[in-house]
Each structure stands twice: as structure tokens, then as C-alpha cells.
Structure 1
Amino acid sequence: MSDFAAEIDTSGLNCPLPVLKARQALAELTTGQQLHLIATDKGAAKDIPAFCKMTGNALIDSSETDDKLHFIIEKGGI
């Protein structure tokens, strides 16, 4: 088991689905818990940071491995 409260793999899904799936997953978490989001949609590289900024969640880390984008998002207090 990972250190994340939730992990979702949106591989193969295009905008806006990775953001919508992230929103749904974060709604189930409590403040301070972390979500690991995996995406293949290159647009997510801009969409997820913008989503975090607009919603008050913290983008802890983002990286790319094996053509997949990985985001660690910490749920904010909003």
C-alpha cells in the first residue's frame, strides 16, 4: 500500500476527465490527505496545476515516466 490516501489512473482519458476524476477523488479525502493521479493526456500538465490553484489544493509534485504524467495533490482546507 502506498502512502497516498487515494490513487486514480486516468490513462487513456482526455480533457476534462482527468480533472473531473481528480475532483471526485479529492471530495472523498480529508484535508491534508494526498491523491496520486496518473494521466496520459498531455493537456493534464497544464490542467492539473490550474485546477489545484483554482480549488485551493496543493500540487506537491508532478513528474513524467513511461509516457505517463504523475501528480501528487494534497487536499486543501477549502
Structure 2
Amino acid sequence: MTDLEVDALGLLCPLPVLRLKKRIRDLPRGATATLLADDPAAHVDVPHFCAEAGHEFLGVEGHAFRIRKG
């Protein structure tokens, strides 16, 4: 189960990660989020964002990037 779904389909770098960052701010630690993004750069940007911000990148399936808030 995902605690939050962030729709960033159709947005280009850096907007998907910026939208994710803003939306997960108020989630409690350990909550999960799914970012929907079809920008090819998201495959690099999302794991990098997670590593830099202390979140856990759970993986990607299609256009759905799963994150656990750290």
C-alpha cells in the first residue's frame, strides 16, 4: 500500500523530483510514496534524490517510482 501518490506524468526534469519533494514533506518517517513520472531523466534523478535526502528508493516499475521516506 502506498501512503501517497504523486502524479508528475508529462513533466520534465527537474519538476517530477521537485513535486515529490514538496508532497512528501509532511509524511511521517517510514511512509511510502509512489511517483508517477515518464521523464526518462527520472530513472537517474529519483534514486539520486533519495540518496541525497535520506530516503529509501524501493524501485521502479514502468513509470511508478516507489520511495520510503527516511
**Is TM (by shorter chain) over 0.5?**
yes
Structure 1: 5+ residue stretches without partners: none
In the aligned structure 2, how far is the partner of 1:61 from the partner of 1:47? 13
Q: Answer whether contact 1:34 1:75 (CA < 8 A) is retained.
A: yes
Q: Which amino acid aligns with 2:16?
A: P
Task: Tell me which stretches of 4 or more aligned residues in structure 1 moved more than 3 Å.
Answer: none
> Which residue is 1:6 aligned to?
4
Structure 2: 5+ residue stretches without partners: none
> Which residue is 2:69 aligned to?
75
TM-score by length of 2: 0.95
In the TM superposition, 1:1-78 aligns within 5 A as: 3-64=1-62, 69-76=63-70
Q: Secondary structure at the match of 1:21?
A: helix
Q: Answer whether contact 1:25 1:35 (CA < 8 A) is retained.
A: no
Q: How much is the aligned-residue C-alpha RMSD, in angstroms?
A: 0.7
Answer with 1 or 2: which has the greater Rg: 1
Q: CA deviation at 1:36?
A: 0.7
Q: CA deviation at 1:6?
A: 0.5
Q: Quick one: percent identity of the two aligned structures? A: 36
TM-score by length of 1: 0.86
